Structure 1
Amino acid sequence: MVDMERMNSDGGSSIRRRSLSLSSHRSHHTDNDVDCESASEAGDIGDRALPSRRFSESNSFHSENGSTVITNSSVRPLPQELSSTPPLSTDATVGSHDSKLEPPKDLPQLLDYVSCMAHLAVFGILGVLTRYLLQKLFGPGVANVTSNHTILYLDLPSNMIGSFLMGWFGVEFKKDISHVSEHLAIGITTGYLGSLTTFSGWNQKMLELSASGHWVISALGFLIGLSLVAVSIAFGVETAKGFRWLLNRLNLTSPENGISKINYKVNSYHCQMTAMVIFLVILGILWGVSGALVKAKFKHGGSAAELWFACMVGPIGVWIRWFLARLNGRGLGKKGLFQWIPFGTLIANVSAACVMAALSTIKNAVNTRDCDTVVAGIQFGVMGCLSTVSTFAAEFNAMRKTNEPWRAYVYAAITICVSFSLGILIYCIPYWTKGFEIDT
């Protein structure tokens, strides 16, 4: 009898040890999956970040035997040995039958979309203007640091500055900004910084160098450009952490969550409606001024006409990239294969690079002033805003800090190699066969 009890005890202990080991193993893999998913969502998650959509997707309500049950679609299933245990009391889960979890009183989902798109458009236009100013400032006309014919391409300063600022406002202080307004955080990161930086312009300059036979300079342009962008966002994150340390020393942040003690929040219906109206008015003014300047300067062509046309059409690229960002962290198929790859950002950058190359081919083939103005405006506006380096840099930086940092370099290699390879088919081959001249 004692032997039987000892065997049962030993067997039970063995089962418990095996169960704990299995649970620990599964937990380890779950943590890795969550870690990889978070890295692929480090830059942007599109409309999944909106309060109204996030609440409706993450929570569902139903009644079982008169009790309110809350389920979260983002919660992973429990291991089988844990899910078979008796359920907790609904009183312990909910707290009270009378307690109700109600969604925050925000704007309706349609108006929430309109407000967010207005924020994206306004900040996107500001990003286009800033990118143009940085090109002129560091280009041959003023500082003479960047050029179309060297490794230091024209968009390198904007890509570096945008990545540095992404370290501040898209990594370290994004939670603080979201605490005030989700739309403001989306506007600054996805709208302004995403439009300030451009991957398609970078890829196109390397294609043009390759088409001219400067293959070594083109390869070095990608390597040096990626290195400088990675250093820029890392430096941005470190300096932002230093600034947060200073805020902590000055007692300007909350000790509970480290968020700044700014009490103002755009979380009421009235505040959100006011913000939406203000940004719609600003957008109308920016579009009106841009349209008037395009009409005045279009017949003469030149960079001014291209810039203002780019400001008119740039928001289209921002909106498309924002909607594509919902694919980040989702993976492929029902099983979510390759969940660590941010497919939304990847598709945006590769597609923008391909369309940029196709438009350059059309521009070389038609070669008229009006066509040059329209094509250059679409390239600088739509394609420049559709592709992004700052979001790409945020994802790259987050992947490097996971348990599998090699994924960051694989992701960067896929983005660059696919874009460049397709660009050769679309731009370089017609350039070689038709004998086009590169417009400088």
Structure 2
Amino acid sequence: MPTETEGGEIQRSRSRSRSRSCSRTAEQGLDEVIAAQVIEENRSSNERSRLSSQLQRRITAESTLSSSRSYRGLTEVEAPLPAPSVEHEDSLEHEIRVSNASEAEFRTEEKNKAEREMGLLTSKQRKLRSWHRRLFKIGDIKETLLWLILFSIFGVLARIGLISLESYPGKSVDGLVWVQFIGCLIMGFLSETKDMFALNNGRSLQLYVGLSTGFCGSLTTFSSWMKAAFLAMANAEPHNPRPRGYSVLGLLDEIILTLCLSLGGIKVGAHVGLLLRSSWTKLRHKDNDNSGKGNASVKLGFAIASGYKVLTGLKWLALILGVGCWIGAVLMAVFIDKWRGKVLFAIVFGPLGTITRWLFSRYLNPMAPSFPVGTFTANIFGTSLIALFSIAQQRIENRTGCQVLQGMMDGYCGCLTTVSTFALELQTLKRKHAWRYGAASVICGIVIMVLTLGVDHWRFRELTEQSC
């Protein structure tokens, strides 16, 4: 039997043991609470850093949309947007993107869909469908060329018509200046509405290439601009009695006015495109909210009606209109004598110039990151050709030959060179690269005109306006 003293000692020992265990439990609980707080703080820190990085990436992405940022060997179809949205409500426009399905997946889907359709047909219908597909198979490159042919004809007709409309007595500005402005206005609009021509599979319609490269590129012309600037400097066509110093002012007037209106046209068209995209996006959001689909199914433009039948219909439309209009132009040039020199030969040779420029842009522009070699080559080459054709036209006496040369200048050279792409590239290049590219293009164009057309004008015979 333990004594009373021993019992008190045992009780105190047990009490100390319980207090130590309670303190250890409290310490463990406190450690767990602290560890949980640390983990939560780490999670919050990671979340904040993730959100910060996403915000930084978004700011960087939106900053690349602004003018004078970066140039990555872009073609006129892939150029970045020249006028970014500044309203927070319009930020949804930059977040709506089509899916990034690969080309191989799209081809497989088309093939499977075609096989399912073929399984529902009779044997005779399957043979007829297979024969049609083999005979009229149109690839992307062929479809692009067909759209380029069609819209280059429209571009030439629009350019000739606008110049004739602005050739009134007592005009204050050359009609070619307004042609450049309208072409750049449409190009700026198309650059901001490219998503309207995107399909669900991430591809862009070749129709967009026809509108931008074909129509806008053919409507505007760099070679005729350089020729008009030289004529203003040389005081020819028409000749006005004035001191030579005013000819320098005439050269500067032609260059500065065209450049300012072209760059302004790009900006105005881009902002109109932003307004349309914003209105369209909000309308689609409203429709999806009313139908209960939410914002995930928002689509733009052709993405609403994308599908095999739509793509096939567009290819057939390009084939019929492109080839048909070009053949019709050739036949009219052969059998109709009245409009040969003014219009017909120009729309016959125009598609060839557009296709040449598209090839230059496609294969040469990616060569240099800060200097679009393809556009520069097309513009300088076309300027050289129009100078040589003008010299030859001064010496030819055959009326048909004069009409062919006029058609080559208005059609081939006019479509081979472009101001709309030139102005868009000036907006998207970095500032020093834009100055270098713009100065090199204009100076080389004027120098070529002086060395060819100028030598002939000042040394051999004065330039006179030819009426074919």
Displacement of 1:133 in angstroms is 1.2
Whether the 8 Å contact between 1:327 and 1:342 is mirrored in structure 2 is: no
1:12-23 correspondence runs (5 A): none
Does structure 1 residue 43 correspond to structure 2 residue 76? yes
- What SS does the corresponding residue of 1:139 show, helix, strand or coil? coil
* Residue in structure 2 matched with residue 371 of structure 1 by the alignment: 401
1:302-321 correspondence runs (5 A): 305-321=341-357
- What SS does the corresponding residue of 1:102 show, helix, strand or coil? helix
Q: Pairwise CA RMSD of aligned residues?
A: 3.2
CA change 1:434–1:392 in 2 (3 A) is: same
| Aligned counterparts of 2:341 and 2:333: Cα–Cα separation in 1 | 5
* Residue in structure 1 matched with residue 251 of structure 2 by the alignment: 218
Displacement of 1:226 in angstroms is 0.4
Does structure 1 residue 260 correspond to structure 2 residue 300? yes
- Structure 1 unpaired stretches of 5+: 1-27, 47-99, 147-151, 332-337
* Residue in structure 1 matched with residue 140 of structure 2 by the alignment: 112
* Residue in structure 1 matched with residue 186 of structure 2 by the alignment: 165
Identity score, percent: 22
| Aligned counterparts of 1:439 and 1:374: Cα–Cα separation in 2 | 16
| Aligned counterparts of 2:399 and 2:103: Cα–Cα separation in 1 | 60
Does structure 1 residue 438 correspond to structure 2 residue 440? no
CA change 1:257–1:204 in 2 (3 A) is: farther
Whether the 8 Å contact between 1:119 and 1:187 is mirrored in structure 2 is: yes
2:175 paired residue among 154, 162, 174:
154
Does structure 1 residue 330 correspond to structure 2 residue 398? no
Displacement of 1:282 in angstroms is 1.4
* Residue in structure 1 matched with residue 413 of structure 2 by the alignment: 383
Displacement of 1:124 in angstroms is 0.7
| Aligned counterparts of 1:329 and 1:429: Cα–Cα separation in 2 | 32
1:324-347 deviation digits (Å, cap 9, x = unpaired): 11245523xxxxxx4111111111
Structure 1-normalised TM-score? Answer: 0.68
Whether the 8 Å contact between 1:44 and 1:391 is mirrored in structure 2 is: no
Say which one has the larger Rg.
2
CA change 1:153–1:110 in 2 (3 A) is: same
CA change 1:186–1:266 in 2 (3 A) is: farther
Structure 2-normalised TM-score? Answer: 0.65
Whether the 8 Å contact between 1:317 and 1:385 is mirrored in structure 2 is: yes
| Aligned counterparts of 2:234 and 2:397: Cα–Cα separation in 1 | 18
2:199 paired residue among 153, 166, 179:
179
Displacement of 1:372 in angstroms is 1.8
| Aligned counterparts of 1:252 and 1:262: Cα–Cα separation in 2 | 16
CA change 1:245–1:186 in 2 (3 A) is: same
Displacement of 1:406 in angstroms is 2.6
| Aligned counterparts of 2:379 and 2:336: Cα–Cα separation in 1 | 30
- What SS does the corresponding residue of 1:44 show, helix, strand or coil? coil
CA change 1:256–1:398 in 2 (3 A) is: farther
CA change 1:413–1:267 in 2 (3 A) is: farther
* Residue in structure 2 matched with residue 420 of structure 1 by the alignment: 446
- Structure 2 unpaired stretches of 5+: 1-59, 80-101, 111-132, 236-243, 289-294
Structure richer in helix, relative to its length: 2
Q: Residue type of the partner of 2:266? A: I
Displacement of 1:292 in angstroms is 3.3
- What SS does the corresponding residue of 2:362 show, helix, strand or coil? helix
Displacement of 1:391 in angstroms is 0.9
| Aligned counterparts of 1:178 and 1:200: Cα–Cα separation in 2 | 33
* Residue in structure 1 matched with residue 43 of structure 2 by the alignment: none
| Aligned counterparts of 1:155 and 1:426: Cα–Cα separation in 2 | 22
CA change 1:329–1:374 in 2 (3 A) is: closer
Does structure 1 residue 125 correspond to structure 2 residue 153? yes
Displacement of 1:436 in angstroms is 2.8
* Residue in structure 2 matched with residue 74 of structure 1 by the alignment: none
- What SS does the corresponding residue of 2:198 show, helix, strand or coil? helix
1:114-172 deviation digits (Å, cap 9, x = unpaired): 2110111001101111111111112227xx646xxxxx333211110010111111x10
| Aligned counterparts of 1:312 and 1:374: Cα–Cα separation in 2 | 10
Displacement of 1:224 in angstroms is 1.4
The aligned length equals 335
| Aligned counterparts of 1:236 and 1:227: Cα–Cα separation in 2 | 14
